[in-house]
Amino acid sequence: MAINFPDAQSTGDEFTSGDRTWKWDGTTWESLAAGLTATLPVVLTDLDISLANLEVTDITDLTATAAELNILDGVTADAAELNILDGVTATSAELNILDGVIATTAEINILDGVTADATELNYVDGVTSGIQSQLDDKALLTPAVNAKTAAYTLAVGDRGETITADGTFTITAPSATFSAGDRVDFVNIGTGVITFAGSGVTVDSKDAALTIDTQYSAASILFLSSSTAVLIGDLA
């Protein structure tokens, strides 16, 4: 319902709209219900809010537009559910995280009945991928055996796996590819010499040995960081 206030002529003029009477005090229209004032022009188009139990005491700094407030249109939460917000201590900055959210009412209602507390909900803070993807990324990998017969540069997909090498060639550890704790195993299944080198990665080993030159000799490269690694095993 829209309330269109008339131009006042003098202090004390009264105006009635519906079941409410307003009185002009020389500056604003003041409702005979104590404390409710309106400064011209005031048009509350299509307002459908019951004031009976409204506990909001100060909306002076409310900057939400009509379009933003209309996001609530169609929300099926009842009074009890909306009252969950009563006493919320979030700051305006925290609440503004919702600014621009395009979720539908159906999507927002997924929270209906959720019993998680703030700490539990904060577990998703910063999550940018599916939970299963994260679990897969952290889970112990089932080692695969990959055969190499020529020069090869390690890739992130090699972590946790075993490489069989047959021939004489170099295996290179690249920089900014692996993280601390990543490991790759190697077995020389031929009669050639397998040499290890780093590209932007320092590869250390006992006595600076960086080859496995005997058939069925094995070695492992353990990354201490993205730029340092240790070669261990039957080295020459």
Say which residue, 125 or 8, is predicted with more confidence.
125
What are the counts of helices (DSSP H) followed by strands (DSSP E) for the chain?
6, 14
Task: Give the pLDDT of residue 190.
Answer: 97
Contact by Cβ (8 Å): 181, 160 = no
The residue ranges of every structural domain in the chain are 14-118, 145-233
Give 199's strand partners.
Answer: 174
Contact by Cβ (8 Å): 173, 155 = no
End-to-end CA gap in the chain: 89
**CA–CA separation, 6 and 21 (whole Å):** 13
Task: Give the pLDDT of residue 52.
Answer: 47
The pLDDT mean for the chain works out to: 80
Residue 80 makes CB contacts below 8 A (sequence gap 6+) with none
The superfamily in CATH containing domain 145-233 is: gp9 (2.60.120.640)
Q: Give CA separation, 82 vs 72, 106, 107, 140, in Å.
A: 11, 16, 16, 44
pLDDT of residue 203 exceeding 70 = yes
Kindly report, residue by residue over 155-191, the tens digit of the pLDDT. Answer: 999 999 999 999 999 999 999 999 999 999 999 999 9
**What are the φ/ψ torsions at residue 202 (nearest 5 degrees)?**
-85, 120
> Which pair of structure tokens corresponds to residue 99?
């600014």
pLDDT of residue 193 exceeding 80 = yes
Task: Give the pLDDT of residue 102.
Answer: 76
> Which pair of structure tokens corresponds to residue 69?
């407030």
pLDDT of residue 93 exceeding 80 = no
Neighbours of 209 (CB within 10 A): 15
**CA–CA separation, 28 and 16 (whole Å):** 15
Give 202's strand partners.
Answer: 228
Give 196's strand partners.
Answer: 171
pLDDT of residue 17 exceeding 60 = yes
Q: pLDDT category, 58, cuts 50, 70, 90?
A: very low
Write down the pTM of the prediction: 0.47
DSSP three-state, residue 29 = strand
pLDDT of residue 138 exceeding 50 = yes
Q: pLDDT category, 209, cuts 50, 70, 90?
A: very high
Mean pLDDT of 74-93: 72
Q: Give CA separation, 61 vs 57, 58, 64, 65, 92, in Å.
A: 12, 8, 9, 12, 11
pLDDT of residue 213 exceeding 60 = yes
